[in-house]
Amino acid sequence: MTARRSASLQLDLPGIAGAAARGAGEHEAVAGACEALAPGAVVLRGFARACADEIRDALAEIVAAAPFRHMTTPGNRRMSVAMTNCGAFGWFSDRSGYRYSAVDPDSGRPWPPMPAVIATLGAEAAAAAGFAGFEPDACLVNRYAPGTQLSLHQDKDERDFDAPIVSVSLGVPATFLFGGLRRRDPLARVRLEHGDVVVWGGPARLRYHGIARLAAAEHPFAGSERVNLTLRRAQ
Ligand code: MD3
Ligand code: FE
């Protein structure tokens, strides 16, 4: 992973360049760790830390236009994770199933555009993990309050499984559950903290995964909440 680590130091993302310029400690925190979780799954510890405040400001605008909501599953269950989207397409769930749509079904308007800070972070993280040319067209924003969980699932509503999914964890830490290609496969537990970015592609792209019930904790990003962005190529 050494070559990719040095590649991640060449980012022209303003926040990351700024952190690198501020000193070796922060620079290490941003670019110091690139671990392979599994074939196709790469964790970039702290990769989003330097641009987290910029993302928070962008999220405030997104949420003003497309508020968080608890979607309904096809089985008529209310999801405990609150969700919204930005980008050309947004993922949603209702009684009819799961799908991507260019319009927010709650407002009838297009989803808010994907801020450049988010699109660039996704492209740079994907490139650092070996997926050059990733251009996300959808960003699902998940909000977890204490006690919220996301049950085990696969992400398979996208058109092209060759594109990776990039996830950005913000706020309080969570335990990510990482399974295999079959629901009953054993689960690995991975702690995801504020600023951690994970790129899921290739053979990891269709693995089952979920988030364990969020423990009570506090973090300056969003108090007791965890926010996760998943950047996707939907169409
Ligand atoms: C592994 N979100 O939105 S991100 C989701 O933290 C979702 O909110 C979780 O699962 C969250 O669909 C986990 C990590 C993640 C995202 C997509 C994956 C892991 C993945 C796709 C394939 C394999
Ligand atoms: Fe998922």
Domains annotated on the chain, with CATH? 2-232 (2.60.120.590)
The ligand whose atoms approach the alpha carbon of 229 most closely is 1
Q: What is the pLDDT of residues 172-185, one digit of tens each?
A: 999 999 999 999 99
Mean pLDDT of 96-102: 97
Residue 90 to residue 88: CA distance in whole angstroms: 7
**Higher pLDDT residue, 142 or 12?**
142
167 lines ligand 1 (CB under 6 A): yes
Q: What is the pLDDT of residues 195-234, one digit of tens each?
A: 999 999 999 999 999 999 999 999 999 999 999 999 999 9
Q: Whose CA is nearest to atom 7 of ligand 1?
A: 210
- Could you give the 3-state DSSP secondary structure of residue 119? helix
pLDDT at 28 over 80: no
Placement of tokens 């969700």 in the chain: 83
Q: Which of 83, 151, 211, 230 to mutate to test the pocket of ligand 1 (most atoms within 8 A of CB)?
A: 230
Residue 223 DSSP class: B
Q: Cβ distance 66 to 107 under 8 Å?
A: yes
- Residue 35 is predicted with a pLDDT of 86
E strand or H helix at 38: strand 33-38
- Could you give the 3-state DSSP secondary structure of residue 118? helix
Mean pLDDT of 74-79: 96
